[in-house]
């Protein structure tokens, strides 16, 4: 077992009550961390919601960037509007003749 190699040695037979209590507290804390990590990993709904929120923020950021880029270059939409109005005016003038 590779995981057992990484564990610190247990207190020896001549360990005092303080050492034993410290080892118990440390083990309890590590076990709590492990359980929390496994719970997070198994929480599919929570992970999906987190991923959806990240994606939403990315889309909103891209939309803001696109809006800012469009505001920075208003000449292109303005030119398109002018061209459409000119075409409508030209058609109106041509039909009236």
pLDDT at 7: 67
Higher pLDDT, 55 or 96: 55
For residue 29, pLDDT beyond 90: yes
Domain boundaries, the chain: 16-96
pLDDT in tens, 48-91: 999 999 999 999 999 999 888 877 776 767 788 889 999 999 88
Burial bucket for residue 72 (CB in 10 Å: 0-12, 13-18, 19+) = exposed
Q: How remote is the C-alpha of 83 from its chain's centroid?
A: 43
For residue 1, pLDDT beyond 50: no
pTM: 0.42
């Amino acid at each position: 077992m590779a995981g057992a190699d990484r564990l610190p040695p247990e207190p020896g037979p001549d360990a005092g009550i303080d050492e034993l209590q410290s080892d118990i507290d440390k083990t309890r804390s590590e076990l709590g961390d492990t359980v929390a990590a496994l719970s997070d990993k198994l929480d599919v709904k929570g992970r999906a919601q987190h991923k959806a929120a990240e994606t939403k923020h990315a889309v909103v950021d891209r939309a803001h960037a696109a809006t800012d880029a469009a505001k920075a270059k208003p000449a292109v939409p303005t030119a398109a509007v002018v061209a459409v109005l000119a075409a409508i005016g030209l058609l109106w003038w041509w039909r009236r003749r």
